[in-house]
Amino acid sequence: MPTVREASFDLFRNREMTTMFGNPGSTELPMLADFPADFRYVLGLQEAVVVGMADGYAQASGGTTIANLHTAPGVGNAMGAIFNAQANHSPLLVTAGQQVRAQITLQANLTNRDAIRMPHPLVKWAYEPARAEDVPLALARGAHLASLPPRGPVFVSLPMDDWYAEVDGADAGHAIARTVSGRATADPEAVRALAERLDSASSPVFVAGPDIDASGGWDAAVALAERQRLPVWATPATGGARIGFPESHPNFRGVLPPAIGPVAQTLEDHDLIVVAGSSVFPYYPYIPGPLLPDGAKLVAITSDPDEAARAPMGDAIVADVKLTLEALVEAVPESPRPVPQPNQGPGEIPAAEPLDSSTVHSALAEVFPEDGIVVLESPASTLALRNQLRISRPGSYYFSSGGGLGFGLAASVGVQLAQPDRPVVCVLGEGSAQYAVTAFWTAAAYEVPVTFLVMRNDEYAILKWFAEVESVQGAPGLDLPALEVAAVAEGYGVKSHRAKERDEVRDALAKALDSSRPELIEVPVAPGMSLF
C-alpha cells in the first residue's frame, strides 16, 4: 500500500504542483524526506517571504502553488502575506507541519494548538485531517478549492507522523486523478441584456480590472472596447493586482483614482460603466462623494460572488471574466460611436538631482524589454510608474492589491521562477524592501535574475502624503535616514550598484536586464509623491 507521502506527492505531480516554496522545521522534515528528483524546493528564509514568493509564482504560472510553513510560528510569520494572497486571488495551498498526533492533546512543544482557527479568515478553507490516511484527500480538496473561483489561499495542517501512514491505493488513486473545473459562463440572458444596455448607451465606458489578466481575457477586452468604441480606464492602482488592458491602446485613458468622489468625477460624462474583473472599487483613502456620476448606471462582471455582493452600487454578473467578455463581444454589434482619440503621452520631466521618481521610471521605460514584467511596490511612485511605463502585454504587471508591504520583493522572485524566459524588474521603495529582505538571498542562491530597482527617498513618502490628506500633524516615524538597501542586498549575495544620474540609471538597468544573475540598482530620489 502506498504511504501518505507517496500518494500526496503523486497528487502534486498530477496537478503539476512540483515547485514548492518552504521554510522547514522539525515538523516538516518527514514530508521532505527522500525529496523526489522531479520536484523543486525553493527555500525562503522567513515564512512571509515563502508565501510572497509562492503568491508571485502562482499568479505568474496560473497554477495552484504549495507554500510549506513551520507549524504555528511559521503560519504567524506568514499571516500578512496570506492576507495579500487572498486579496490577489492567488491560488495557494498553504500547509504547515504539526506535532505527532500522540502529542497534540498533551500539547507538546511546537503543537499548533488551534491550527484551523489561526489562518482564518484569510483563507477559503482551513483543515486538519481527522485521520492520517485522509491527508491525500484533504490536500486534493484544498488544491481544488484554491483553484476554484474566487481563487485564493487554503490551509491544511499536517501532523508530522502522518506521512508514514499507509493509504488504500484505490482510494488514493481516485483522489489523485480527479479534475475539477470551475470556469462558469454567464447566464446568456444576462449577457444579452448587458449587450443591449451597452449598445443603446450614449456614452459607455469600460473599466478593466486585474482578473481580466488572471482569466486570460485581454483579447476579449480589447475586442469589446474596439467593437463598442469604449474608452477604457484601469481599475484604481490600489487594488490593481494586475493590468487587464493594453496601456498603449488608443482607447486607454488612464488609471482611475482610488477614492469615491474622484472616481465618480473621473467618469462624469458616462451613462453606463461596465467594470470587468475588479471589485467596485478598491477605494482608499476615504474621499466621500457620489458613488456614481449623476444618471450613470454600472454593471460589474466578476468571478467572485463576494465582490458582487458587497459592491455598494450597480448590478453584477457573477461568472468567468474571460468567457463573459467573449460572449459579450459576440452579442454586441459594431458601434457607430466615434473612435476614442489617443491620450497625450506623459510630458517632459526634469532630470535634476536627486532625480524625480518619474525621471527614473522614464529611464526604465527606455530600456524595458517588449516581453518585460514589472513587479511594483514603491508606494509614492506607483502612479509615476504607471504613467511612464505603459504595459501592453498580458501577465506583465504584479502589485499587492492587499496593500501589505513585503509582497513586491518576494513575489518578484516567484514571478521570475515561473517565467524564466521573461525579464522581471522589481521596483521597490527602500522602506517596502525591508518587509521581505531575505528574498534577496533566495534570488542569489537560486540565481533568479530579477533586476531590483530601489527608489531611495529616505522617508515613508506615501505616509507623509496620507498625513496631509488626514490632516495629521507631528506624526513620528516617517523618516528613514541611512537605510542602505544596496549594502543589505550585497550581504545576501545580490550584486548591487548605486546610480544618481538619469543616464547612469538607464545604463545600469540595461546591463542588469541582460544579466543572468539578480542585480540591484539603488537610486536616490527626491522626497514626496510623484504623479506623472
Question: Under the rule (CB under 6 A), what is the footprint of ligand TPP?
Answer: 80, 378-381, 403-406, 429-432, 435, 457, 459-463
Task: Name which of 307 and 459 has its Cβ closer to ligand TPP.
Answer: 459
Task: Name which of 217 and 414 has its Cβ closer to ligand TPP.
Answer: 414
Task: Name which of 32 and 480 has its Cβ closer to ligand TPP.
Answer: 480
Smallest gap from Cβ 10 to ligand TPP, in A, equals: 37
The residue among 151, 155, 42, 93 whose CA lies nearest residue 411 is 42
Question: What does the chain come to in residues?
Answer: 532
Q: How far apart are CA 352 and CA 164, in angstroms?
A: 64
Copy the grid coordinates of residue 522: 539603488
Phi/psi of residue 453, nearest 5 degrees: -115, 115
Task: Name which of 64 and 412 has its Cβ closer to ligand TPP.
Answer: 412
Smallest gap from Cβ 478 to ligand TPP, in A, equals: 8
Smallest gap from Cβ 54 to ligand TPP, in A, equals: 17
Smallest gap from Cβ 459 to ligand TPP, in A, equals: 6
* Type of residue at 292: L
Beta bridge mates, 258: none
Task: Name which of 285 and 350 has its Cβ closer to ligand TPP.
Answer: 285
Copy the grid coordinates of residue 13: 505531480
Copy the grid coordinates of residue 283: 477605494
Smallest gap from Cβ 276 to ligand TPP, in A, equals: 27
Phi/psi of residue 382, nearest 5 degrees: -60, -50
Q: How far apart are CA 26 and CA 71, in angstroms?
A: 9
Q: How far apart are CA 118 and CA 353, in angstroms?
A: 48
Smallest gap from Cβ 190 to ligand TPP, in A, equals: 37
Smallest gap from Cβ 201 to ligand TPP, in A, equals: 38
The residue among 321, 348, 15, 89 whose CA lies nearest residue 184 is 321
51, 407 Cβ separation under 8 angstroms = no
Q: How far apart are CA 207 and CA 325, in angstroms?
A: 12
Task: Name which of 133 and 430 has its Cβ closer to ligand TPP.
Answer: 430
92, 53 Cβ separation under 8 angstroms = no
Q: How far apart are CA 348 and CA 60, in angstroms?
A: 34
Smallest gap from Cβ 244 to ligand TPP, in A, equals: 23
Cell 524595458 belongs to: 368
Task: Name which of 191 and 241 has its Cβ closer to ligand TPP.
Answer: 241
Question: Could you give the C-alpha distances from 317 to 13, 201, 276, 305, in angstroms and in order?
Answer: 35, 18, 10, 9
Q: How far apart are CA 164 and CA 157, in angstroms?
A: 16
Task: Name which of 160 and 413 has its Cβ closer to ligand TPP.
Answer: 413
Question: Could you give the C-alpha distances from 336 to 98, 195, 200, 321, 340, in angstroms and in order?
Answer: 63, 15, 11, 25, 12
Phi/psi of residue 360, nearest 5 degrees: -65, -45
Task: Name which of 168 and 479 has its Cβ closer to ligand TPP.
Answer: 479
Smallest gap from Cβ 134 to ligand TPP, in A, equals: 35
Q: Is 142 left (phi over 0), alpha (psi -120 to 50) or beta?
A: alpha
Smallest gap from Cβ 530 to ligand TPP, in A, equals: 9
Task: Name which of 320 and 377 has its Cβ closer to ligand TPP.
Answer: 377
The residue among 6, 57, 304 whose CA lies nearest residue 169 is 6
The beta strand positions in 124-174, using DSSP E, are 126-127, 154-159
Smallest gap from Cβ 79 to ligand TPP, in A, equals: 10
Using CB positions, name the residue nearest to ligand TPP: 429
Task: Name which of 95 and 357 has its Cβ closer to ligand TPP.
Answer: 357
